[in-house]
């Protein structure tokens, strides 16, 4: 029987998968920022979510601002102008690629790992507990370990947050 995989190992796999995906598909180098121990899509205009099922369940979430989402769409889809549909497709594909790296790496340890179809949400997310007119910050409360890993390019022209909880 394989040794149990720690949440930290999963987190580092997601970090590497994010950096590898940006480098391989878009030739973009990303720097990882300070990991926050919460799932926090604040300041995001576009969010992609992929569910993970099997012996280990949870979600991999990618969120970004509209400017960064447009850059991702142009680079990933090799187009000059990114419309809303292209942006949604690109963020969904990005999230799917990162989740796929998790599945590939941990398939043997976790057995049958399944990924859901990417769900992409446009617009800012708000916690359901917020009263109308409350501060615009958003946060999702989860009952298990979750982290937000911020990434950006060296010149800060592109930024993205990758969140994982399982």
All structural domains of the chain: 7-126+136-165 (3.40.1550.10)
| pLDDT of 38 strictly over 60 | yes
How far from the centroid of its chain's Cα atoms is residue 61's Cα?
Answer: 4
Compute the distance between CA of residue 58 and CA of residue 135 in angstroms, rounded to an integer: 28
Tell me the pLDDT band of 162, cut-offs 50, 70 and 90: very high
Tell me the pTM: 0.84
Residues 6+ apart with CB under 8 A from 8: none
Backbone angles phi, psi at 147, to 5 degrees: -140, 155
Tell me the pLDDT band of 61, cut-offs 50, 70 and 90: very high
Compute the distance between CA of residue 96 and CA of residue 158 in angstroms, rounded to an integer: 19
Backbone angles phi, psi at 37, to 5 degrees: -85, 60
What pLDDT, on a 0 to 100 scale, did the predictor assign at position 11?
Answer: 86
The residue ranking higher by pLDDT, 10 or 82, is 82
Give the position of tokens 């982290």.
147
E-assigned strand segments in 14-96? 31-32, 46-53, 58-64
Q: Dig out the tokens for 91 from the structure.
A: 């963020």
pLDDT in tens, 107-160: 777 677 889 999 999 887 665 554 555 555 544 454 457 899 999 999 999 999
What pLDDT, on a 0 to 100 scale, did the predictor assign at position 8?
Answer: 84
The residue ranking higher by pLDDT, 107 or 68, is 68
| pLDDT of 42 strictly over 90 | no
């Amino acid at each position: 029987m394989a040794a149990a995989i720690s949440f930290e190992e999963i987190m580092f796999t997601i970090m590497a998968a994010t950096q590898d995906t940006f480098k391989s598909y878009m030739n973009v180098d990303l720097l990882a920022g300070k990991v926050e121990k919460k799932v926090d899509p604040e300041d995001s205009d576009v969010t992609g979510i992929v569910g993970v099922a099997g012996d280990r369940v949870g979600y991999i979430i990618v969120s970004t601002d509209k400017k960064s989402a447009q850059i991702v769409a142009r680079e990933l889809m090799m187009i000059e102008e990114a419309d809303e549909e292209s942006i949604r497709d690109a963020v969904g594909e990005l999230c799917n690629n990162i989740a796929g790296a998790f599945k590939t790496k941990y398939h043997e340890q976790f057995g049958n790992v399944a990924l859901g179809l990417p769900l992409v949400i446009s617009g800012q997310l708000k916690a359901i507990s917020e009263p109308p007119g409350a501060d615009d910050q958003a946060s999702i409360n989860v009952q298990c370990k979750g982290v937000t890993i911020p990434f950006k390019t060296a010149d800060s022209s592109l930024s993205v947050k990758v969140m994982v909880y399982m």
